[in-house]
Structure 1
Amino acid sequence: MSNIIAYIVLILAVILGTAANGFAKGANGFTLLIPSLLTAITIVGCMFTLSIVMKTIPVGITYASFAGLCIIATTIVGIYKFNQTPDLFTVIGLILIIAGVLIVNLIGKTT
């Protein structure tokens, strides 16, 4: 698999991971059946897609990229869906996460 395809699959994993986080919030501590099932399904899909990505991209870079992008995407979902407004320090932290993901993927090297 080419790196471009691997990164496209990684974006799919981020989408599934972010969806799982949103469904988990809506599952109300796993007391609601449908959001709980959707959480489980999207988590399994997310892990499956991550395992595919790890065939091409090293595990550390894959997971660092996934975690950082998922945090950013989940924060955006929190803003729009749950009216959760981040404060200044949260925004600064998110900017640092974005910088970290970019550094790992564009400058970092693994052997």
Structure 2
Amino acid sequence: MSNPWLLLIIAGLFEIIWASAMKASDGFTKIGPSVLTGVAAFISFWLLAAAMKDLPLGTAYAVWVGIGIIGAALAGIMLFGDAATPARLAGIALIIAGITMLKLA
């Protein structure tokens, strides 16, 4: 894969996986989610590093974190019963707007 934006998106998806698995690991007391956390984190960082070969640092890192924040917030709502308050949803919308602006810049 040589498309840095695709690498970055996949890296962000793996960030969502490791963050969700970390929550499910119950403080690393459950082996399956704990192992998944480590594997997904490694893949996420590796893909981020590959994307950063061609993308500006600030843009790549902000987009990666943004994907992770949005995904983790939605996973929290859907999987872990976090509240879907208007303020939380507005924050997600603002992050999406920021990522879009960085991509267009």
Match of 1:39 in 2: 37
Q: Secondary structure at the match of 1:31?
A: coil
Residue number in structure 2 paired with 1:8:
6
Deviating above 6 A after TM superposition, structure 1's stretches of 4 or more consecutive aligned residues are none
- Structure 2 unpaired stretches of 5+: none
Cα distance in structure 2, aligned partners of 1:46 and 1:32: 21
Q: Which residue of 2 aligns with 1:94?
A: 92
* Cα separation, 1, equivalents of 2:65 and 2:32: 25
Residue 66 of structure 1: how far off its partner (Å): 0.7
TM, length-normalised to structure 1: 0.88
The 10-residue stretch of structure 1 (79-88 or 66-75) with the greater mean CA deviation from structure 2: 79-88
Q: Percent identity at matched positions? A: 31
Report the equivalent of 2:77. Answer: 79
Deviation at 1:83, TM superposition (A): 2.3
- Shift of the alpha carbon at 1:42? 0.6
Residue 52 of structure 1 pairs with residue 46 of structure 2: no
Larger Rg: 1
Q: Is the 8 A contact 2:13 2:67 kept in 1?
A: no
TM-score, normalization: structure 2? Answer: 0.92
Asked whether the 8 Å contact 2:20–2:75 carries over to 1, the reply is yes
In structure 1, distance between residues paired with 2:102 and 2:5: 13
Matched residue count: 105
C-alpha root-mean-square deviation of aligned residues, in Å? 1.4
Partner of 1:22: 20
